[in-house]
Structures are given as C-alpha cells and as structure tokens.
Amino acid sequence: MCGIVGYIGNKPAVDILLEGLTNLEYRGYDSAGVAVNVEGKVELYKAEGKLQNLKNIVQEKYEHISKSVIGIGHIRWATHGVPSVTNAHPHTCNCGKVAIVHNGIIENYKELRAKLEANGCTFRSQTDTETIAHLVASKYAQTKDLTEAVRIATKEIEGAYAIAVIHQDVKNTIVATRRNAPLVIGFGEGENFVASDVPALIQYTKKAMYLDDNQIVTLTPDSVKVIDENNNSIPLKIENLPWEPVALSKMGYKHFMLKEIHEQPDIVRNVLTGKLKNIDENISLSEVTLDKDKLKDLKRIQIVACGTSLHAALVGKYIIEELCGIPVDVEASSEYIYRTTITDENTLVIGVSQSGETADTITAIRQAKKKGSHILIVTNRPDSTMAREADSLVPVNAGIEVSVAATKSYMAQVISFYLLAIYMAEIKNSASKEELIKIKHELIVLPQKIEQILNHKSDIQKCAKAFSGHKDFIFIARGINYATALEGALKLKEISYINATGYSAGELKHGPIAMLDESMPVLSILMKGKVYEKILSNAEEAKARNAKLIAVTNSDDIKLDELFDSIIRVPDIEEILSPALAIVPLQLLAYYIAEFLGKDVDQPRNLAKSVTVE
C-alpha cells in the first residue's frame, strides 16, 4: 500500500527510483511519481496508472532528468482523492521548493489544511499529504534547517506516516521520518537510500537500518544521521538484510503467483527445519518465550488477523483446540479493535500477518498487550513492526512474497500453527504421543504430496478452462477445511474478480441454496474424515438444484465420477493435515482462471500487498 523510495549519491537518481518503485509494485498502487533536483531546481514527473506510464514520461526527457543524483519516488494507493496526476505524489509547497512523498493517513489533515489556507497556502490536490508539504515549507521558512523543519512539522501531525522530503535549497539532503508506517534506510558507498520496504534497495545494498516511530533520518551521499523527536542523536543500528535479490525474479514463471505456489514444498521444508528434527523428539520452538507453566495454565487463546492470514488462523484454531484443549477465538483484527475485548494475562494473543505491517492487526495486538496478554506473532517479516512488538516471534520463513495474492505465506503460516499446536500439546501433555507422531510424519512427507499436485497441474488447468466462463462460484467444506473453502474463494475473487463465496457446507440449505442453478458451480472440499459423508450429501443437494459440481478430494471412490462434473484428486492425507494439501489445487485453479481471463494476476485491481491503513 503506497511505496516510497529515496536516493542520494552519485548515480542518476531516476534510474534507482524507478527500479525501486518497480520492486515495490507488488504493494498495490494506482499512480506514481518522482521528484528530482536538476541543476538546482526541483522537478516533478507523475503519471496515473501503471509505472510504465511514468517510465515513458521520464524516457522522453531522460538526458535532462538523469543529471539529478538526488530524488524521491512514490507509488500511490488512493485514500484521499481519486487516482489522478494531481493527487499523485510527490507533492510540493506553493513555491515548489519542498517535495514530499508519504505513506499512511494524516488524520487531522482537515484542521491543518484550514490553518495553512488561512495563512495563504493554496492547495492543488485533494490529498492529506499536501498538507505536510506546506507545513514543512512553513517550518523551513522559520528554521532554515530541513531536519528541524520536518521534526517540528511532524509534532503537529496526527495519524500514520512514512515520509521523505527534499528541498531545492538543500541540494545534498533527504530527510525522512515515520510513525506507524514502515521505513528502512539503506547504506551504500558514497550513496544512501530510504524506502518503505527492502525490495526497493536490496539490489544496491544489504546494509540497512529500520527506523523506529518518530525517529528522523537525514541522508547525504556520505552520511546518515538519526535523531528522535526530541532532537537526541540515535546510534545507528545497521543490520545485514537476509533477502537475496533473486527473490524478486520470476525465475521463468509467467507470474510471481505461479512461482510462489511452486515454492511451497520447499517452504514447508524450511518451516520445519530445526523445529521438527525427528518424529520421536519434541518440537523445538525456542522463539516462544512464554513460560511453560504459564502456557500450561492458559485459559484461552485469541488469534487476530486479516484476509488470508485470518484463514490460516482458523486452521490454527481447529488444530490447537483439537490437540491442546484450549479454547481459541479467531477474529478479524478490524472487528477486534472496536469492541470491548475480554483479554488478560491468562490469555495468549496471537497476531498472524504475512507483512507484519497490517494496521488493524498492529492496533489489535497493541490493545491486547496493554491488557497484559502475552503477544505471539506469526509473521513472514521478522523485520516488521509487529515482529518488533512481539513477546514471542514465530518467523514463518516463506521468503519475500511478491504476488498480492498470498499463497506460500499462507502455507507457511498453516505449517507454523501445526508446529505451535504440537509444541503446546507436548508441554501440556494434552494429546497422545501416537497422534502427535502421526501428524509429525505427515508434516515430513507433505512436501512430496504437494509436489505431486504441482506435477499434475494440467488437470487443474483443464478444470479452470472449463469453468472460467462462470460469474459466480460457491466453495463448500466443513470442519478443518471450512478455512480452506474461505481461502480458496478469496483467492478466486482477488485475482479473477469472480464472485466466489466460501460456506460451511451445512449452512448451504439455510439460505445460499436459493442461489443454485446451472450457472452457479459448487466446489466441494471433500477430504476423507469425520465430515466426508456429510459434505457428499451437501454436494448431492446442490446437484439436485442443477448446480455444476467440482470436487477436490483424496478419495479414489469411482462413484464420485457420477456425481461430480470435474474432480481434482490430491494424494491421501490425514484429515487434520488436509488443509495444507487441499489449498494447493484451489490456488492453482484461481490462478489459471484469472490467467484465462487475462487478468493482472500479480497486481489485482484495488488491492495492496501490505494494508498499512485502518
């Protein structure tokens, strides 16, 4: 959701800005822009729509623009004001000397705007961001010091922001700061970088520092200085980034989503490494710092998350209740934060997030922390805001996920929940050793089973082709795979814009069945176990209403061929592990349908990879 890049050094800044923005495209955006300083003058270049539109504009004047060795760039995901060139960042003050890029939302922008207008500022855009440009300009007029101007300007701002600022009269400096929005500084030789995420700078440097809330950084080509909001100097905490630039390559796949789906067998192996060493040994989860006696005494667990991470949490609930006998509530973070939640020191609160930057989940865990709960974070980004606020951090090691539609991070979250549940069950002695050994064994062989599905993806491709003309879909399942139905439907609607809804199969006859006819395919997740026969009956009920039926199943019962119009068979697996397998064909089905429909698979419209506003 929005992306910032800033560069100061000795190379044409525009090249680095456009490359950096390209590597942030996955965050989701609808316009883009850069500000550079060419021969002592701040110049802006902006375009609506894809980054390529901006690249075309820059190309026409490349010789001129490339003279600048300082610049800031931005991709914008519209919050205040429509996507347009006027609303695209960077924004400037009235004299055009201050240029600013911003992620986040300024909550008091209306009051600020009124004050600034009363003082003679003229606003050109509908954005909240433009207020910061005018505010910084007015503070600079008083202080003649850009860092100080930013520092005192931010004291008047309420809300979330990561910003980067340049000033025409301060040619050798970028100032940046953050509050509740991520910002990372990259350290080079004779050049320095600032960005809202690592992919923007990883190909230039692996030396980085994450800025904390309210810290202000001043970058020149040869120096990086950080202060806090009270002007105290902050020592530099430079770390080596774990990411490899190759993570940003499609490696021959047509889309990042397809590549990431194919990475899942290795992701499972990664997540298990070092934690599940041997089926006879206990799971080792040194990341969980919750005292073992406290863990035994836990009265309840609450899991907060959004979107796909929420679905992983639902699988987690099922496994933890089954193996540990602790009641687990799962709630969308956006709901959790606006009601009276009953939580205390006997409640473990788990936040699940691929990005670790989802605003609603951050707010939820902060609320729970204040009430004394131990906060355990399951995230793919150990460098994120949520990770830094965690009491226990379970990193899911899925590597960077570029496609907006989450796939491999979901798999890694689900596998992490198996490990966490077994870990707790072993401490609590709440499940039989045989049961736990069976699950551990299944986890170890899971990657091969996923590989078998990937090797037979042409069947899924055929099914996708046959059903790609439908405008609506229903996904049904029961028990542990209810979450799989929700996640499969979410994948389809996210990238193909088809109206797909996941239902608990038993709920079909309580309403949704009214919608069924030949135009509404029903996909059943029909995995062997407690609810197999029940789902089969629900599928029969749908058939009786002329719905076309698809099954994802590990059953080899040939009678299914009579009932279902299309069957996607997956390897056999214990029911409790089945969500980790059944989701793979659903990811592929969504992918191939979207591809047949010619959709922008990796960057679906209106969506952002990291949702940093509430």
Which residue, chain included where needed, has tokens 């997956």?
Answer: 570
Give yes or no for a contact between 410 and 308, defined as CB atoms under 8 angstroms apart. Answer: yes
Strands 472-477, 522-526: pairing is parallel
Kind plus residue range of the DSSP H or E element containing 193? strand 192-195
Given a contact cutoff of 8 angstroms between Cβ atoms, the answer to whether 185 and 217 are in contact is yes
* Under rule CB under 6 A, residue 150 binds ligand M6R: no
Could you tell me which of 76, 20, 31 has the C-alpha nearest to residue 54?
A: 31
338, with CB counted inside 10 A (0-12, 13-18, 19+), is exposed
CB atoms near residue 497 (< 10 Å): 15
Residue 184 and residue 197 in contact, taking contact as beta carbons nearer than 8 Å = yes
Please give the residues from 249 up to 308 whose contact with ligand M6R meets the rule CB under 6 A: 306-308
Task: Output Rg (C-alpha) for the chain, integer angstroms.
Answer: 26
Site string for ligand M6R, 476-515 (x = CB under 6 A): ------------------x---------------------
Give the Cβ contact number of residue 190 at 10 Å. 11
Question: Should residue 354 be labelled a site residue for ligand M6R when binding is judged by CB under 6 A?
Answer: yes
Tell me the pairing of strands 91-92 and 98-106.
antiparallel
Question: Nearer Cβ to ligand M6R, position 192 or 397?
Answer: 397
In our burial notation (b when 16+ CB lie closer than 10 A, e otherwise), range 166-182 reads bbbebbebbbbbbbbbb
Q: Which of residues 399-428 bind ligand M6R (CB under 6 A)?
A: 404-406
The yes-or-no answer on residue 2 being catalytic is: yes
Looking at beta carbons only, is 309 or 538 nearer to ligand M6R?
309
Q: Compute the least distance from the CB of residue 369 to ligand M6R, in Å.
A: 17
Residue nearest ligand M6R by beta-carbon distance: 307
467, 516, 528, 413 alpha-carbon torsion, rounded to 10°: 70
| Contact code string over 572-611 relative to ligand M6R, x by CB under 6 A | -----------------------------------x--xx
> What 3-state DSSP class applies to 213?
coil
Q: Confirm or reject binding of residue 353 to ligand M6R (CB under 6 A).
A: yes
Residue from 2, 121, 324, 463 carrying the catalytic annotation = 2
For ligand M6R, which is the closer residue by CB, 147 or 309?
309
3-state class of 394 per DSSP?
A: strand
Q: C-beta of 350: minimal distance to ligand M6R in Å?
A: 13
Buried (b) or exposed (e) across 457-490, using 16+ Cβ within 10 A? beebbebbeebbebeebbbbbbbbbbbbbbbbbb
200 contact partners, CB below 8 Å, separation of at least 6: 3, 4, 5, 20, 21, 23, 24, 193
Residue 605 CB, nearest approach to ligand M6R (Å): 12
Nearer to ligand M6R, 175 or 313 (CB): 313
Q: What does the block give as tokens for 121?
A: 């500022």
Cα 570 to Cα 417: distance, rounded to the nearest angstrom? 22
* Alpha helix ranges (H) inside 476-577: 482-496, 532-543, 560-563
Name which of 341 and 353 has its Cβ closer to ligand M6R.
353
Identity of the residue, 247 or 536, whose beta carbon is nearer to ligand M6R in the bound complex: 247
Beta strands across the sheet bearing 3-8: 41-48, 31-38, 70-76, 3-8, 192-195, 184-187, 207-210, 239-240
Q: Identify which of residues 90 and 579 has a Cβ nearer to ligand M6R in the complex.
A: 579
Q: Which is nearer to ligand M6R, 17 or 271 (CB)?
A: 271
- Nearest CB to ligand M6R, comparing residues 309 and 347: 309
**φ, ψ of residue 509 in degrees (nearest 5):** -75, -5
Nearest-approach distance from CB 99 to ligand M6R, in angstroms: 30
- Return d(Cα 115, Cα 383) in angstroms, integer: 38
Residues 168-207 that bind ligand M6R (CB under 6 A): none
Contact 193, 176 (CB under 8 A): no
Between CA 216 and CA 205 the distance in angstroms is 21
Q: Which CB sits closer to ligand M6R, 438 or 493?
A: 493
Q: Which is nearer to ligand M6R, 264 or 358 (CB)?
A: 358
* Cα–Cα nearest to 350, from 291, 406, 305, 388: 305
Which range of residues in 47-55, 353-361, 524-532, 537-545 is near ligand M6R by CB under 6 A?
353-361
x/- letters, 356..395, toward ligand M6R (CB under 6 A): --x--x----------------------------------
Tell the smallest beta-carbon distance from residue 611 to ligand M6R (Å): 5
Select from 177, 355, 416, 553 the one that contacts ligand M6R (CB under 6 A): 355
Closer residue to ligand M6R (CB): 353 or 484 = 353
> In the bound complex, what is the minimum distance in angstroms from residue 352's beta carbon to ligand M6R?
7
Check 207, 440, 449, 609 and give the catalytic one.
609
Q: Catalytic annotation on 471?
A: no
Segment contacting ligand M6R by CB under 6 A, of 146-154, 187-195, 398-406, 472-480: 398-406
Query: Smallest distance, Å, CB 380 to ligand M6R?
Result: 8
What is the closest distance, in whole angstroms, from the C-beta atom of residue 178 to ligand M6R in the complex? 18
Site map 450..479 versus ligand M6R, x via CB under 6 A? ------------------------------
Strand partners, 330: 303
Nearest to 393 by CA among 443, 352, 333, 362: 352
Subset of residues 299 to 338 that bind ligand M6R, contact rule: CB under 6 A: 306-309
Minimum distance between the CB of residue 465 and ligand M6R, rounded to whole angstroms?
Answer: 23
Q: Could you tell me how many residues of this chain bind ligand M6R (CB under 6 A)?
A: 16
Residues forming contacts to ligand M6R in the complex (CB under 6 A) are 306-309, 353-355, 358, 361, 404-406, 494, 607, 610-611
Residues classed as catalytic: 2, 609
